[in-house]
Amino acid sequence: TQLLEQSPQFLSIQEGENLTVYCNSSSVFSSLQWYRQEPGEGPVLLVTVVTGGEVKKLKRLTFQFGDARKDSSLHITAAQPGDTGLYLCAGRNTDKLIFGTGTRLQVFP
């Protein structure tokens, strides 16, 4: 069974701080996606990484795919209250997604 573990599970920080969320697996994925989900809503796609070692930036968010395509990280610079939410990584297994356990981020003003 493929598992994606995310750490930390919970993160509570002040506005302006930096943070990193990790997504780890023992399995190789053809691609990995990061989503953000707000309470009562569906996940919203942030980014897809495909190539080992790939780095993608989305404003203050930096995503990296591990060289072996087994792990990924999400770094947020100068977090803002609007970044609050559940961050999910998802590895692509054939045609379906295997989701991580999620990291719940709370950014206080």
Footprint of another protein (CB under 8 A) = 4, 30-31, 33, 35, 40-45, 48, 50, 88, 90, 92, 94-102
Q: Can you name the residues that pair with 71 across neighbouring β-strands?
A: 24
Say how many C-beta atoms besides its own lie within 10 A of residue 60's C-beta.
Answer: 13
To the nearest whole angstrom, how small is the minimum distance from the Cβ of residue 44 to another protein? Answer: 7
Q: Closer CB to another protein, residue 45 or residue 78? A: 45
Report the helix count and the strand count for the chain, using DSSP H and E. 0, 11
To the nearest whole angstrom, how small is the minimum distance from the Cβ of residue 15 to another protein? Answer: 25
- Per DSSP, 41 falls in state S
To the nearest whole angstrom, how small is the minimum distance from the Cβ of residue 70 to another protein? Answer: 17
